[in-house]
Amino acid sequence: MYIIIVGAGDIGTPLIDVATRFGNEVVVIERERKKADQIADEYDCLVLNADATIKKTLEDAGAEQADAIISTTDQDATNIMICLLSKELEIPAILSVVHSPEHMGLFRQIGVNTMENPQQLIAEYLYRAVARPAIVDYLRIGEEAEVFEIDVTAGAPIAGKTLNEAANEGIIPDDVLIVAIEREGDDPPITPRGDSLIKPDDLLTVYSGFGADPELTDVFGHYEDRVD
């Protein structure tokens, strides 16, 4: 895949690392000479020390053959300009970091795939690790819904029950789904059915329409997630 990455900062540099390691053809556009030189020395990619808000720069980066462009600068206005030029140049996939939630709607109006402020996401992730220690990993969907991973303790209300039994007994709320079961010795993860039995030490991937609140983590035996 031919990828243009704009910006070699805290977000762009790890992205360059991943994209090059997976064998993609990567072109990096970075305005600061020092950063551009560092990337050119460390990674197997073409680096342009130039301004990506100029159409000619994107053309020089190979926009006509690019499969995707990802803008990672720390300025939303710059990212928007780059995305608009990329649409004009008909780059198939256009992605951008969005730092201010107020600007999210504008990016969506112009048809750009977005990632909201990474610093905010990291802050929320760290807070979740402290406030909900039972949650192994999670992904927020919309305003309230979440997908998360959680293990089942021996004394959990759901332990030793099938999914049908847990649903019929009201243990699992209506807007909660168990979407995967990881069990030691089983590879790959189990795709749950109604008669799937939940066992202690199972690692479950759970979708919750209302998030992972303490009442829900109780179901899996994690009463420590309650805050007094």
Verify cis geometry, omega within 30 degrees of 0, for the bond prior to 188: yes
Q: pLDDT per residue over 130-171, tens digit each? A: 667 778 777 777 778 889 999 999 999 999 999 999 999 999
Q: Which CATH superfamily is domain 122-225 in?
A: Regulator of K+ conductance, C-terminal domain (3.30.70.1450)
Beta strands in the chain (DSSP E): 2-6, 25-29, 46-48, 68-71, 93-98, 113-116, 135-141, 145-151, 176-182, 203-208
**What one-letter code names the amino acid at 147?**
V
pTM of the model: 0.66
Instruction: Check residue 144 and give its pLDDT.
Output: 82
Torsion angle (degrees, nearest 10) of CA 155, 161, 166, 170: -50
Domain ranges of the chain: 2-116, 122-225
Q: Which fold has domain 2-116?
A: Rossmann fold (3.40.50)
pLDDT band at residue 54 under the 50/70/90 scheme: very high
DSSP character at residue 85: H
Q: Which of 120, 127, 29 shows the shortest CA–CA distance to 70? A: 29
Average pLDDT, the chain: 90
